[in-house]
A and B are shown apart, each in its own frame.
Chain A
């Protein structure tokens, strides 16, 4: 090992931080200018970030066009001049279309209310005191209200068919039902895959590995193209429902693998103890093993939820009017052609808000679970 041992004298290690080096100057020196290389990195980064920030601000704020004459039809000449920056007028004109799609304009308060119900249910689900049947009842009530609001046809609300739904409510619905229905499926498949019954195990393995081996878009494609072929004539589901089914099947495979990981991590003594108390298989699983397994894998499940929320945008490819598709259609109009970036930044900000808050919640939960243990 003489090869790795130096014989030259090494320079002395840097002095420990002087306790007198407190305050802003000390903080700056420690974190930004601790050495020559660190100072160089700081300067280069400042230059780079400054340049980027200037370019962005110049485009998005200083040279931006905030409104254009809209009557009788939008006149976007102001956005098309050589020194025009971002055309935020597009968002001003189109935000309701991007958010709610083709939902009848006068009825869009119903879609907005549905979105609000979803948004208020999410933080409630994050509250650990409510976990249990209470939360399930809350969700059932909330989702029932959403369906009444979106469909209408009762209580004096006009009927709005499914193919007019669009934008954020559709995205939230696909994501919420995707998780809610995939979770029970995944629990069953995870149990099946760790079961000793060879037939059950083989079927679960085939399902999980097949789905995990192919892209989500091909699952969605199958759901939209193949599904009608599988069913006898006259029996058919709507396009949205088929996409939802595809998402549930896809999510179920990934979730089941995560849950199986949790099942593996529950000590064997737990189920043995339950068995010695005289509990049968299903009771052991329901009261003893599953609660522990699910708690263990909550953080990765939340990561999967974030992934699913983002993946719902793929339904755009099979022609469903979700948030991303609404953003894309908003700029397809001749008047607005060529202003894509603004619409996508707006849509991206909405996705970011949802995913980032889920990620923060997940990180907090992970920390708390680690502390509890």
Chain B
């Protein structure tokens, strides 16, 4: 694997320093001296305590100095400390938001919530798109067809050797350079792309889409849950747990739910009226550029991870499957992919964490994600310490949640040994 990025898949467990027993002397306090182990002298114990005390005092002293000077500086600049400012009214407008936001009425807390939702939106969209594109490119790089393999290789090299920020501003600039709505490019029926972003058909005020999405989520979770039960041997579902039945349920149930709820089912297709579009919904240039740029950049890394994963499966596995008379698709689905996933999931999860962190580059194209909102909040109120605290807490929480999810998935695909 030649992933070039800050891949953070080194194991997290704390390590014994390669059997360097001399080191253990300093922890004599916390360990019982076993028979046959090195004898600890009281001098070592005392020096260990002294070293740690000195260290704690030094760090504490520096910390105290920093806190004291910061408080002093904040006081001399007339900035109040604490999170009370969250309930102050915001006067700046926010361009992209899932929930209503009126400048001059709503508070910083609500603005931050919008920022968090926007961060999650971008990260979610990018993770889905980059996984699909990356998987295709990664598999295509292994194609026996040289033209396909080499062009995918060129794509990967071109994309991953150029900074992601540059790619973002490039796509943003490109979208802004597109013709105005009246000369918009028609991608498909009802889909237009112009310098105002991507216009697409929508369903009413989004409630119908929300209901369909929620139902789909319920179906997916139910299937995962059922698969878990079956694996543990509690209930046997047999043929009920197959891909065709899943697809039928995943399509029919959301449609049925929308029909039952009585929401608008006729899509609101955008049409060109005069100088702008009527109807439909818009993906703003900022969000489009962000999703396109981040997806393309990350897809190159995902492609490399997928390729390394598939190459990591011993070729004897494929040969054995073929010798059993399995077709190429069954071989891929039942033999290659389950084993490749074990190699793919850990680096893929750190790639996803990278996407969430990279989504903060939204500030460069003017999309109001969490970082951008905190940024303008700090320049308005001057409460830098609180702002940075919010950023750190939010990103750490999201990162930990994603790692927990991916670790759970990793355990479910991991090799089960006695």
Contact = CB atoms under 8 A, between A and B. Distances in A.
Interface of A: 4-6, 10, 31-32, 34, 38, 41-42, 45-46, 49, 193-201, 203, 205, 210, 212-218, 221-222, 225-226, 228-233, 254, 257-258, 260-261, 263-264, 266-272, 275, 280-281, 284, 289, 299-300, 303-304, 306-307, 310-311, 313-314, 316-317, 324, 328, 331, 338, 340-341, 344-345, 347-348, 351-352, 355-356, 359, 362-363, 366
A41 B148 contact: yes
B169 A355 contact: no
Nearest to A275: B22
A230 B69 contact: yes
Contact of A49 (B151, B361, B396): B151
Pick from B5, B6, B8, B22 the residue with the most CB of A within 10 Å.
B6
B164 A310 contact: yes
A40 B22 CA distance: 65
Interface residues of B, number: 83
Contacts of B7: 300, 303
B188 interface: no
A306 B4 contact: yes
Contact of B15 (A45, A194, A299, A304): A194
B163 A310 contact: yes
A263 B20 CA distance: 11
A355 B147 contact: no
Given A4-B326, A344-B170, A356 B55 contact: no
A275 B20 contact: yes
A351 B10 contact: no
9 pairs of A and B residues whose beta carbons are closest in the complex = A268-B19, A340-B173, A355-B161, A31-B146, A215-B357, A310-B163, A313-B163, A261-B10, A344-B170
Contacts of B360: 215, 217-218
A196 B70 CA distance: 33
A228 B74 CA distance: 11
A214 B394 CA distance: 9
Contacts of A10: 325
9 contacts: A10-B325, A42-B147, A194-B18, A196-B26, A197-B48, A199-B55, A270-B18, A303-B5, A303-B7
Nearest to A272: B19
B70 A347 contact: no
B145 interface: yes
A99 B15 CA distance: 46
Contacts of B364: 316-317
Interface in B11-31: 11, 14-24, 26-27, 30
Contacts of B24: 196
B146 A254 contact: no
Contact of B52 (A198, A269, A289): A198
B73 A344 contact: no
Q: Is the interface of B mostly helix, strand, loop or mixed?
A: helix
Contacts of A263: 15, 17-18
A348 B162 contact: yes
Interface in B350-391: 357-358, 360-361, 363-364, 371, 375, 378, 384-385, 388, 391
Given A31-B147, A257-B10, A264-B18, 13 more contacts: A10-B325, A42-B148, A45-B151, A49-B147, A197-B27, A212-B8, A229-B384, A306-B161, A310-B164, A316-B364, A341-B177, A348-B162, A348-B166
Contacts of B220: none
B73 A233 contact: yes
A168 to B, nearest CB: 14
Contacts of A328: 169
B188 to A, nearest CB: 18
B2 interface: yes
Contact of B145 (A42, A210, A271, A356): A42
Contacts of A356: 157, 161
A313 to B, nearest CB: 4
A84 to B, nearest CB: 12
Contacts of B147: 31-32, 41-42, 45-46, 49
B334 to A, nearest CB: 7
A303 B20 contact: no
